[in-house]
Amino acid sequence: MDMVIIDEMNKKILHLLQMDGRMTYKEVAAHLKRSESTVRDRIQNMEREEIIKGYTAIVDKSKLGYKCDAMVLCNIDPRQMHSVIPDLIKLDAVSQVFHITGERRVMFRITAQEPRELEQLINRKLIPLGIINLDLHIIMEAKEKFPPTAVPLVLSKPVPELTR
Amino acid sequence: MVTIDEMNLKIIKMLEEDGRMTYKEIAERLGRAESTIRDRIQNLEEVGIIKGYRAVVDKHRLGWECDAVVLCNADPFSLNKALDVLSKHEHVHELLQISGDRRLLFRVRTKNSRELEEFITKEAMPLGLVNVDIRMVIGCMPKGCEKNENGNEKPRNKRVRELNRMQVQ
């Protein structure tokens, strides 16, 4: 399999798709003034090489009634780490799992509708998994950056304003 | 006003798993008309339940090799300015105000540890951040990357999954 080179054009494509993951090949092509087939090949190559790992809708959970959002720092018995983490990420309420350095080596985000539900999730789902030293931080405010511009983007000229 | 019924929840779940699913594909899976699905998605977008769509990019492969979570406090007088600057900074990905003895949490990605050190000492600390506790992220599992029965990571990407299926056959 050919290695994908992240050149200027691929960077621009990644930038556009991070801003709007539903852009069609045609729209991306129009922004970059290239042919649709070139853009399609490049996107498919980056998907195959898993530089693009997927696409996701960004959902405002608070508007769906999930008012209780928290970050948990905890530990897991090192011998069970490999079996517990996949079970943890499978829970609907858990959205990001990080293995970090420091005193508590696992960090994840958990979202519930109300404090009582959060308490039940912890006692009935998390504790039985073998999670210890659980340190719960309620998220009071989240400044989420959208679009998340994270690609090392060195554009010779700015990407035109999105009109969708 | 949009009511969140069973169908809307199913649509949201599908789009979280694959943000590029077409109206047609969703309609087929739910056994509903394409126009119904289109209307529903457009409504969800209009009321801001769906805020947008984005490609999930492997930042490590693009050269952002240093990933850290910072827990810290800010001097109360400079808190607002610090929040404002950090939330706009290109290296900062997520910024949360949390309860606990350290009330700020953010994720930083840089190309290497020297750049992280520079960011912390030259940009973050001068904002009045104190008790800075830097935790390196040594592994990260986003939703949808659960391991499958064989222990391999399941690609999030529907198109990649299709390619894999074709190779198996």
pLDDT at A153 over 50: no
Q: What confidence tens digit (pLDDT) does each residue in A3-58 have?
A: 778 889 999 999 999 999 999 999 999 999 999 999 999 999 999 998 999 999 99
d(CA B6, CA B105): 34
pLDDT at B146 over 70: no
List all residues of chain A from 83 to 142 with a beta carbon under 8 Å from chain B: 85-86, 89-90, 94-102, 107, 135, 137-142
pLDDT at A164 over 90: no
d(CA B169, CA B167): 6
The beta strand positions in B75-161, using DSSP E, are 92-98, 104-110, 129-142
DSSP 8-state symbol, B153: B
At residue B142, the pLDDT reads: 65
Q: Tell me whether 0.85 is exceeded by the ipTM.
A: no
Compute the average pLDDT of residues B139-145: 68
Measuring CA to CA, how many Å separate A126 from each of A36, A43, B72, B135, B143? Answer: 48, 39, 26, 23, 17
Structural domains of chain A, with CATH: 8-48 (1.10.10.10), 61-138 (3.30.70.920)
What percent of chain B stands above pLDDT 90? 67
d(CA A84, CA B113): 30
Domain B6-46 matches domain B60-136 at the CATH topology level: no
Q: Hey, what CATH class is B6-46 in?
A: mainly alpha
- Residue B4: pLDDT band by 50, 70, 90 thresholds? confident
Looking at CATH, the fold of the domain delimited by B60-136 is given as: Alpha-Beta Plaits (3.30.70)
Q: What confidence tens digit (pLDDT) does each residue in B153-163 have?
A: 545 555 555 65
At residue B106, the pLDDT reads: 95
Q: What confidence tens digit (pLDDT) does each residue in B70-85 have?
A: 999 998 888 999 999 9
- Residue B164: pLDDT band by 50, 70, 90 thresholds? low
List all residues of chain B from 59 to 98 with a beta carbon under 8 Å from chain A: 59, 61-64, 69, 83, 87-88, 90, 92-98
Q: What confidence tens digit (pLDDT) does each residue in B129-140 have?
A: 999 999 999 988
Distance from chain centroid for Cα A39: 24
At residue A3, the pLDDT reads: 72
Task: Determine whether the interchain pair B95/A143 forms a contact, defined as Cβ–Cβ distance below 8 Å.
Answer: yes
pTM of the predicted model as reported, rounded to 2 decimal places = 0.81
At residue B149, the pLDDT reads: 43
d(CA B95, CA B65): 20
Per domain, the residue ranges of chain B are: 6-46, 60-136
At residue A163, the pLDDT reads: 46
Q: What confidence tens digit (pLDDT) does each residue in A80-110 have?
A: 988 899 899 889 899 889 999 999 999 999 9
pLDDT at B3 over 90: no
At residue B143, the pLDDT reads: 63
Task: Determine whether the interchain pair A141/B97 forms a contact, defined as Cβ–Cβ distance below 8 Å.
Answer: yes
Question: Does residue B4 belong to the interface with chain A, where contact is any CB pair within 8 Å?
Answer: yes
